[in-house]
Amino acid sequence: MSHSSISAATGSTAGARSAPSAQSVPSATPSSQRVGTADVIVVGAGPSGSATAAYLAMAGLDVLLLEKAAFPREKVCGDGLTPRAVRELITLGIPTPAEDGWIKNHGLRIVGGGVRLELPWPDLASFPPYGLVRTRLDFDEILARHAVKHGARLLESTSVTGPILDERTGAIIGVRAKAMDAGGKDAGAPALEFRAPLVVAADGNSSRLSMSMHRPRRDDRPMGVAVRTYYTSPRHDDDYLESWLELWSRDSQGRRVLLPGYGWIFGVGDGTSNVGLGILNTSAAFGKTDYKDVLKRWVDTLPPEWAFNEATMTGPVRGAALPMGFNRQPHYDLGLLLVGDAGGMVNPFNGEGIAYAMESGRLASEVIAQAFARQTDAGREKVLQSYPRVMKDALGGYYTLGRGFATMIGHPEIMRLAVKYGLPRTTMMKLLLKIMANLAEPHGGDAGDRLINALSKMAPDA
């Protein structure tokens, strides 16, 4: 790289070391390393960070994975994994047997306009014909431990406080951090410092690291908010993901009232169901609504035999932002590369983030491994500069279509017409399922696949 040679930052030439064995790289504690070096520092051990770290470790690079919390830790999510996400798990080498708590689902059930339509996942060569459900409470830890097994060094309870910059170029050459106690507060230990010629920001929607490198969110990209909770329910073993396109309640006079947003019910298989809702900033109600109250009002109208009530709620209602459509760019510059939510990689069509977090980690690791194989700083930098184009080629056109879709469904009258006239048409809804879940065959396929691919290619990828 132009700002710092690999040998200067890590004490060796990239690729010269072999990946340590799984037995030699247990999770470390912050106190065991006050100052450290690596080929690559990955900040955040969510799906994007852990996938990136795992692939890079497999490629023989020395990877340091920093996570501010201690596992297991909670994250707000619907817990549903589409076939696109399952494909990434398979590619990464994560086993998903039912006996280990992975709950398989066969498709998507759509509820709206008085219609309940079950759409099986399409049977395609490029994607498995099933989805999965797994709670984020242990999903992220499974991925992080997988990265450790392949040679990544994981430091939990390590909160990154800011970048270390090259004074000449302004490029990032490391990070400062602090150790956290069991309660998530500053442990009061001496400051930590880690250096590497490349830093990957996988620190989520807020991405404090990106902000510190003057990379704010783009206001011309859709943003969503999701809230969810868990209920003990007989619906816990449902083998379809369920999406509600309309959320209804009743006012004080008993009249039906349409609430903002869309809802979901996902059976977790452990005796509980994940119930939640999302809303986009293209809706007039965004930022002006008590989303937890909307969730309660909708849930109160659901059949009592489903047992979604305060007595069966197993935890609080939690919320999180959904950064969509590449809402933070550039995805690489000045030694900082963005993956997952940090790069705004949530699908604008359906709010799915895990598949794209893992996918971006895979694509990023391919670029990084190729960069570290170059013998000069300029050669490495040239390869790293290709990463934004790699991401745009993979998802840019599709996300542009998604931004248009998000704008349209933000208008209630358009959503009502879509539900009224679209849901009864099964063939149309099967095509829409492929579009929204991004499950088109990349080559060949049927007429629907070819249409989706053509539209994605024609759409600008800005």
Per-residue pLDDT tens over the stretch 296-335:
999 999 999 999 999 999 999 999 999 999 999 999 999 9
The residue with greater pLDDT, 231 or 283, is 231
In this predicted structure, what is the pLDDT of residue 23?
30
Residue among 425, 372, 318, 321 nearest 61 (CA): 372
Report how far residue 82's alpha carbon sits from residue 236's, in angstroms, rounded to the nearest whole number. Answer: 18
**Residue 278: left (phi > 0), alpha (psi -120 to 50), or beta?**
beta
- The one-letter amino acid at 168: R
Region 62-73: what's the mean pLDDT?
A: 96
Indicate if the pLDDT at residue 28 is higher than 60: no
Question: pLDDT digit string (tens) for 427-461?
Answer: 889 999 999 999 999 988 999 999 999 999 999 88
- Kind plus residue range of the DSSP H or E element containing 14: none
| Confidence grade of residue 47 (pLDDT, cut at 50, 70, 90) | very high
pTM of this structure:
0.91
Q: Which of 218, 407, 462, 412 is nearest to 323 (CA)?
A: 218
Residue 439 has phi, psi (to 5 degrees) of: -120, 35
The radius of gyration of the chain's CA atoms, rounded to the nearest angstrom, is: 22
* Model pLDDT for residues 327-376, shown as the tens digit of each residue: 999 999 999 999 999 999 999 999 999 999 999 999 999 999 999 999 99
- Range from 8-22, 70-84, 327-341 carrying the lowest mean pLDDT: 8-22
Sign of the Cα pseudo-torsion (407, 411, 412, 415, in order): negative
Structure tokens of 47?
Answer: 């799906």
pLDDT range class, residue 13, cuts 50, 70, 90: very low
Tokens of 74: 């909670």
Q: Which residues pair with 158 in a beta bridge?
A: 179
Q: What is the mean pLDDT of the chain?
A: 90
pLDDT of residue 25: 35
Q: How crowded is residue 381: how many other Cβ atoms within 10 Å of its Cβ?
A: 18
- In this prediction, residue 35 carries a pLDDT of 60
Q: What is the mean pLDDT of residues 240-249?
A: 94
**Domains present along the chain, CATH in parentheses:** 6-74+137-219+325-396 (3.50.50.60), 98-135+222-323 (3.30.9.100)
Alpha carbon distance 212, 268 (integer Å)? 38
pLDDT class of 177 with cuts at 50, 70, 90: very high
Task: Give the pairing of strands 103-105 and 107-112.
Answer: unpaired
pLDDT band at 26 (very low <50, low <70, confident <90, very high): very low
pLDDT band for position 8 (cuts 50, 70, 90)? very low
The residues that bridge with 43 in the sheet, in sequence order, are 66, 201
